[in-house]
């Protein structure tokens, strides 16, 4: 699905070269940490079937976007089996895809239990950017939890932050929420903390592009402001992301390369600061929900305190 065309046009893309895969990732036709990981892995398989210079293709795919850890991790994983031939790379890429599908379902199960514990039966949730099937393969991360709560009749509604400057919330999240029949309102990014302070939100639930060893969360720009608003109001701030987004090799958020997408998306002929992501410090994160566990960083837990649990089903 070409995410740059939504919600007005539902257009499927057929990517037939590595250059087309790289371009789709860079221009956000394919976006979301798990989704670009799957796309990157399939891109390596495509290179194995079609190219002789595989090292250049692998480098181009790996560096298409620098911040989300899933992309580099998936590319490296598929590249590691290049010596076994093209069919092996395709099998590995499809295995990553299938793992992300199972991961989404398991995150939903863990997340529904946590939100119920924190907020009661029918919470009002605020989310930022897009974290549904468009950003994964199916289901989603934070929106996967939202959809599961809705299916169970345990959701009052959602505030979807519009997500400047490319409006992933207003364009993509609302498209997914409407298709699922979830009641929602769109808010401008800056209104989120005020809505939280005014008592209109019971919890903030977002995804992540990278979660560091200390629990710092790298996510779409605007996430940090919502975390500050939630902390001030005493509202839970929950991050939902698969274990594949956890980066124990990066100590903290300050060590992450934050992509700046330049001025064109923000202003014409004016200099602009346009970071694509920000960093929410771990002590503002009530809990991180993965497909295998729930880690409560604001309460002092670390990754080592919570062992990996089983994959679960939200059905």
Hey, which residues are catalytic here?
209
Cα distance between residue 170 and residue 93, in whole Å: 31
Q: Are 169 and 137 in contact (CB under 8 A)?
A: no
* Pick from 180, 238, 183, 249: nearest CA to 213: 249
Look up tokens 């860079």; give the residue.
26
Which is it for strands 210-212 and 217-220: parallel, antiparallel or unpaired? antiparallel
Which residues are within 8 A (CB) of 307 and not within 5 positions of it... i.e. 6 or more apart?
Answer: 293
Q: How many residues does the chain have?
A: 315
Backbone angles phi, psi at 140, to 5 degrees: 130, 180
DSSP for 15-28?
--SHHHHHHHHHTT
Cα distance between residue 33 and residue 171, in whole Å: 18
Q: Helix 142-151 crosses helix 86-119 at what angle (to 10 degrees)?
A: 60
* Pick from 186, 122, 136, 119: nearest CA to 32: 136
For 140, which DSSP code?
A: B
What's the token pair of residue 248?
């124990």
């Amino acid at each position: 699905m070409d995410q740059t065309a939504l919600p007005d046009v539902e257009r499927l893309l057929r990517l037939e070269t590595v250059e087309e895969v790289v371009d789709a990732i860079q221009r956000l036709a394919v976006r979301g940490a798990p989704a670009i990981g799957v796309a990157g892995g399939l891109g390596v398989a495509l290179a194995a079937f079609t190219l002789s210079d595989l090292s250049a293709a692998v480098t181009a795919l790996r560096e298409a976007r620098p911040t989300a850890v899933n992309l580099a991790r998936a590319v490296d994983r598929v590249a590691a089996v290049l010596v076994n031939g093209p069919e092996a790379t395709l099998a590995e890429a499809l295995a990553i895809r299938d793992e992300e599908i199972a991961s989404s379902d398991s995150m939903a199960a863990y997340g529904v239990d946590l939100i119920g514990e924190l907020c009661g039966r029918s919470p009002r949730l605020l989310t930022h950017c897009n974290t549904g099937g468009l950003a994964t393969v199916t289901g989603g991360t934070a929106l996967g939890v939202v959809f599961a709560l809705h299916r169970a009749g345990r959701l009052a509604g959602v505030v979807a932050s519009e997500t400047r400057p490319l409006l992933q919330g207003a364009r993509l999240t609302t498209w997914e929420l409407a298709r699922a029949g979830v009641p929602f309102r769109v808010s401008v990014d800056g209104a989120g903390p005020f809505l939280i302070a005014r008592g209109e939100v019971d919890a903030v639930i977002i995804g992540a592009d990278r979660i560091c060893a200390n629990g710092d969360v790298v996510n779409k720009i605007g996430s940090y402001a919502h975390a500050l608003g939630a902390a001030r109001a005493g509202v839970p701030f929950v991050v939902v992301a698969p274990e594949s987004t956890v980066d124990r090799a990066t100590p903290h958020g300050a060590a992450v390369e934050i992509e700046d997408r330049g001025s064109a998306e923000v202003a014409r002929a004016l200099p602009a600061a346009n970071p694509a992501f920000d960093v929410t410090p771990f002590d503002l994160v009530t809990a991180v929900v993965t497909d295998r566990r729930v880690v409560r960083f604001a309460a002092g837990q670390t990754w080592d305190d919570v062992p990996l649990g089983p994959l679960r089903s939200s059905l």
